[in-house]
Structure 1
């Protein structure tokens, strides 16, 4: 939003739910972007606020709150574009198939477009009744400006993880593989885990494995400088902006096919490795490959990550948003 405001001049009114105490960053109002907490606004108050602001575009971050969908319905009837945000991958579950069958008419009452992160969400958006020209992509974007001076100038045999220490991140599988390699005396790289959560006590104890409970988000680019490989072993990750941040830093990637962002930012044996999240033998094999990797191969992977990082940018994000005005249908 900041980039779009500075480049295009758009102004934003953001009405949000109170952030979780676990949120890694604090959003505050700034020039061009006014942020309001909406928990105490009833439906009438929210509608009056929206009418007074009279936006050119409305973005709804989901469809679970009737206060917000009512606002979308009102402005869609006025001919304004209303964009629905969604990051659910198409998994073909019964619930998703039912939504595709019966949810179309419901969603179209209050939205004209849907905005998704990338390829894993596109089929679901289509099944929800949105045509290709009503589907925007690249919803999630890292700030490339923060990583302009971040590179991998040193070949470090290390795996870096940044995120919550929770089960769906696939960390128990990673810990099992690391412990197996330790028991076999075959772990020959460092592991740096940054983040907190309930799995903290499950981290294997060894001098090669370092745990840092928290780093400030503004310190992340420096953390990613000369950091080896980035790993996100998620069992399911709707997207994962941190993967975009890692390739912007020039880090080769280890991730799973179940991680949404891997479809955009990881090509196996070009800038990293992908595996099925449940296949621990494959993860072990990848770690052993990294340990045997040559310096030349590492720096080629790093260069290729930088290349792939340009597939999504703040300029593209802004262009997608503004396209619904110039091409409303």
Structure 2
């Protein structure tokens, strides 16, 4: 099949997913902004190295948004069997493509938003017949929480493709089994994410400061990421700032720490949790993460912690650093087991089967 992807920026895990789809023999067109400066949201604070997508797909990277007419023409020449739109942020050109597709081309909207009953979401629900269903036949979601939102927008149970995001398990899933003694000896937490409000950088800074007051011999905190709230963590005792780190470097860091922390106020999904579990780490994860239900079980491989509650986060960090080596080893094994429920290979086979089935219908 021939599948076009309209996105808002490439990441290591997206490249891994696309690569597996190409290995199945499918031809891909990937349309993306070509630099962080023209990307949106999370992509603005990233600068990924060359991800090799052009070696297995037709890659259209732009530095200014292509005109609707130009992009429609480019996708038409590709002659796709399906088009997958993973961003609303370039509405004019991307929506024009989706509306121009002839009958028989499967139109997929990737959405990771969580239903929060916000006024804008109620408006979207009220106008979904015209704004959403005019450009998409199917919604593809990463979690049950996103599926709830898709259903609120009018997508039926047969109109949802599940499992839209996966960590690159070839990168994060390798290495030997983590022993409890090794994890206990590392004595460090790891945060990977943008240093912005919705990622909970403020909660992380305050909770880690409070955690150090609660325990006699605190673990250190490794911080990977960039953003305007950098100053809340920089120069804080026990904190090491790494800036932006490429995926391979993050994978290496995850093998040198004891626990991953994801304290976001709002986390539509959270691929970093999948990366951490694949690396055999216990995880402290915000309850506002779509990934939490599938990959974090209280006491089995970490804890789900209420978003925004500094004292709860400090207590959870103390709870983890007080675990015995035997408990940490058990948590590591559960994390590894849970992480295998999804992979780029599973994602690629699922996408191909879902599109083929819908084309046949």
Smaller-chain TM-score bracket: over 0.9
TM-score (norm 2): 0.85
Distance 1:129 1:184, change over 3 A: closer
- 1: CA distance between counterparts of 2:149 and 2:237? 45
Aligned residue number for residue 20 of structure 1: 36
Contact 2:113 2:268 in 1 (8 A): yes
Contact 2:302 2:331 in 1 (8 A): yes
SS in 2 for 1:59: strand
Task: Establish whether residue 239 from structure 1 lines up as the match of residue 256 from structure 2.
Answer: no
- 1: CA distance between counterparts of 2:351 and 2:108? 9
Aligned residue number for residue 81 of structure 2: 56
User: Which of 71, 88, 104 is the matching residue for 1:46?
Assistant: 71
User: Which of 112, 115, 129 is the matching residue for 2:140?
Assistant: 115
The 5-angstrom pairing of residues 296-315 of structure 1 reads 296-315=326-345
Aligned residue number for residue 124 of structure 2: 99
Distance 1:112 1:185, change over 3 A: closer
**Where does the alignment leave 5 or more consecutive residues of structure 1 unmatched?**
none
> What is the Cα deviation at residue 226 of structure 1?
3.6
Aligned residue number for residue 60 of structure 2: 36
Q: Calculate the aligned-residue CA RMSD, in Å.
A: 2.0
> What is the Cα deviation at residue 304 of structure 1?
0.2
SS in 2 for 1:15: strand
- 2: CA distance between counterparts of 1:106 and 1:2? 31
Contact 1:144 1:313 in 2 (8 A): yes
- 2: CA distance between counterparts of 1:53 and 1:104? 28
SS in 2 for 1:327: helix
TM-score (norm 1): 0.92
> What is the Cα deviation at residue 240 of structure 1?
1.4
Q: What is the CA deviation profile of residues 196-230 of structure 1, one whole-angstrom value per residue up to 9, with x for unaligned ones? A: 22222222645532222232222221111141000
The 5-angstrom pairing of residues 278-317 of structure 1 reads 278-317=308-347
- 2: CA distance between counterparts of 1:275 and 1:69? 38
SS in 1 for 2:55: coil
Distance 1:184 1:133, change over 3 A: closer
Length, aligned pairs only: 327
SS in 2 for 1:311: coil
Distance 1:51 1:214, change over 3 A: closer
User: Which of 146, 162, 178 is the matching residue for 2:208?
Assistant: 178
The 5-angstrom pairing of residues 116-195 of structure 1 reads 116-150=141-175, 151-153=177-179, 154-155=182-183, 156-183=186-213, 186=216, 188-195=218-225
User: Which of 271, 283, 289 is the matching residue for 2:301?
Assistant: 271
SS in 1 for 2:351: helix
Distance 1:207 1:40, change over 3 A: closer
- 2: CA distance between counterparts of 1:214 and 1:46? 32
**Where does the alignment leave 5 or more consecutive residues of structure 2 unmatched?**
1-17, 38-44
Contact 1:179 1:204 in 2 (8 A): no
Aligned residue number for residue 324 of structure 1: 355
Task: Establish whether residue 203 from structure 1 lines up as the match of residue 247 from structure 2.
Answer: no
> What is the Cα deviation at residue 286 of structure 1?
1.0
Contact 1:118 1:260 in 2 (8 A): yes
Task: Establish whether residue 71 from structure 1 lines up as the match of residue 97 from structure 2.
Answer: yes
